[in-house]
């Protein structure tokens, strides 16, 4: 098949960019022709990159004006958007139109990356609306997401697929010497809690709850530090340096360099070093469609703390600690997120502190991450999905 991936460019070091790059590699290994429709990371004209054709972004956000024209130009059989699917609503009618073409159909199989629970049990109401308008075949990226689709009538064996995100477990590996990495990165402290999260909105990543929890935790443990792999004043996000100052923890917080993050200068090898330098990763957000940092950290043998909701539950349950909370209404999604409880975050971090460096837990974390390696996901999930698509087309 000829497959067009619509996402951030595969050369972009973002979460979706990495998943797009992994998907292209897998699809090519399985014998398919792949091109990219890059709504982020490329403008102006198509280019060749690593043997792929990369089509550029258009005039509108998320490439809604370009996804179908690029598919036609590539003579694609299948479009796979790897993104927040509901953002494609302006293109939904076109997607259905080209899928219904009797002579040369182009089908869409969209990844439904859901982080919430609607009142009818399904994914977000915008996702449900765009699925209905586009007629796309849904792909769940988590078991949580698959159950949301099943709740609105999709069948895991017939009318949907499950393909989780994946991680390069040859790059993300346990460190030989955690303290040496800490010295190399300039991270002080004997117990380091890490947060890896995009700082682009005021709520979802739970920065206030985690900072407030750390203010309490740091009073109890003078050797603790909070390491942030994020832009501290991202557009639309929280001013994290101000928040740390207001809470009296600024001298205990370590920020990774912002310029290099924004400019995309930090390769995955650097990120693996960072995960290997911390004692525990904290991802106590209000909801995650998947939560790739949870797998990247555990591939490095670093245990995790996460909110007990959405995909985080299945990714942190066996080798990490889950944080309780309460429901939080998201009006954009018309569905429920889950707000982590500050007290529960402190308890989870305390549990991690008490067993710091436990090799058995590090081993369980690594074992869990191997279930999401590129090769495992290719053979167990991508291969049967592609066989189904070829049969249907």
**pLDDT of amino acid 357:** 84
> Which residue(s) pair with 329 in the sheet?
336
Task: Write down the pTM of the prediction.
Answer: 0.96
The per-residue pLDDT of the chain, averaged, comes to 96
**pLDDT of amino acid 54:** 98
**pLDDT of amino acid 234:** 87
| Pairing label, strands 137-140, 161-162 | parallel
Q: Which of 231, 227, 228, 229 is nearest to 199 (CA)?
A: 231
**pLDDT of amino acid 365:** 97
Average pLDDT over residues 128-157: 97
237 backbone φψ class: left, alpha, beta (φ>0; ψ -120 to 50): beta
Distance CA 240, CA 250 (A): 9
**CB neighbour list of residue 209: distance below 8 Å, 6 or more residues apart:** 284, 339, 340, 341, 342, 345
Q: What is the pLDDT of residues 344-387, one digit of tens each?
A: 999 999 999 999 889 999 999 999 999 999 999 999 999 999 99
CA distances from 288 to 3, 84, 285, 331 (A): 27, 12, 7, 16
pLDDT over 90 (residue 285):
yes
Element (H, E) at 223: none
List domains and CATH numbers for the chain: 2-166+373-392 (3.40.50.2000), 178-370 (3.40.50.2000)
**pLDDT of amino acid 327:** 98
**pLDDT of amino acid 379:** 98
Distance CA 67, CA 55 (A): 9
| Cα angle 242-243-249, degrees, rounded to a multiple of 5 | 100
DSSP class of 8: E
Burial group, residue 253, by CB count within 10 angstroms (0-12, 13-18, 19+): buried
Average pLDDT over residues 215-239: 95
Distance CA 373, CA 166 (A): 5
pLDDT over 90 (residue 333):
yes
Q: What is the DSSP string of 45-82?
A: S-EEETTEEEEPP-SSGGGTTTHHHHHHHHT-SEEEE-
Average pLDDT over residues 131-152: 98
Average pLDDT over residues 132-160: 97
Distance CA 385, CA 68 (A): 22
Q: Which of 7, 12, 15 is nearest to 196 (CA)?
A: 15
Residue with tokens 């993050």: 261
Banded pLDDT at 131 (limits 50, 70, 90): very high
Banded pLDDT at 74 (limits 50, 70, 90): very high
**CB neighbour list of residue 41: distance below 8 Å, 6 or more residues apart:** 8, 9, 11, 12, 17, 57
> Which residue(s) pair with 138 in the sheet?
110
Helix, strand and coil percent figures for the chain, each rounded to 5: 40, 20, 40
**pLDDT of amino acid 102:** 86
């Amino acid at each position: 098949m000829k497959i067009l991936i619509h996402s951030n460019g595969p050369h972009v070091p973002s979460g979706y960019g990495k998943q797009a790059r992994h998907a292209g590699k897998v699809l090519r290994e399985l014998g398919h022709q792949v091109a990219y429709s890059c709504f982020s990371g490329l403008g102006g004209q198509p280019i060749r990159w690593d043997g792929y054709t990369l089509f550029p972004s258009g005039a509108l956000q998320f490439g809604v004006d370009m996804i179908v024209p690029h598919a036609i130009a590539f003579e694609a059989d299948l479009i796979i958007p790897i993104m927040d699917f509901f953002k494609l609503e302006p293109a939904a009618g076109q997607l259905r139109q080209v899928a219904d073409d009797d002579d040369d159909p182009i089908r869409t199989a969209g990844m439904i990356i859901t982080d919430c629970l609607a009142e009818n049990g399904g994914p977000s109401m915008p996702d449900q609306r765009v699925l209905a308008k586009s007629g796309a075949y849904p792909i769940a990226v988590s078991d949580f997401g698959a159950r949301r689709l099943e709740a609105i009538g999709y069948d895991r064996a017939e009318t949907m697929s499950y393909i989780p995100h994946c991680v390069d477990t040859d790059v993300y590996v346990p460190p030989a010497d955690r303290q040496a990495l800490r010295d190399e990165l300039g991270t002080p402290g004997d117990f380091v809690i890490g947060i890896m999260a995009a700082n682009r909105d005021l709520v979802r990543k739970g920065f206030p709850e985690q900072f407030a929890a750390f203010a309490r935790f740091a009073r109890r443990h003078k050797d603790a530090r909070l390491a942030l792999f994020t832009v501290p004043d991202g557009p639309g996000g929280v001013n994290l340096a101000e928040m740390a100052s207001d809470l009296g923890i600024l001298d205990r917080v370590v920020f990774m360099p912002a310029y290099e993050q924004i400019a995309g200068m930090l390769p995955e090898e650097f990120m693996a070093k960072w995960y290997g330098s911390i004692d525990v990763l904290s991802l106590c957000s209000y909801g995650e469609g998947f939560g790739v940092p949870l797998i990247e950290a555990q591939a490095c043998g670093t245990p995790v703390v996460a909110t007990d909701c959405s995909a985080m539950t299945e990714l942190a349950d066996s080798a990490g600690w889950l944080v309780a909370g309460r429901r939080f209404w998201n009006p954009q999604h018309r569905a429920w997120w889950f707000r982590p409880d500050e007290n529960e975050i402190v308890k989870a971090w305390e549990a991690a502190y008490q067993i710091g460096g436990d090799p058995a837990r590090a081993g369980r974390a690594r074992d869990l991450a191997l279930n999401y390696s590129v090769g495992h996901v290719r053979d167990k999930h991508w291969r049967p999905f592609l066989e189904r698509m070829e049969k249907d087309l």
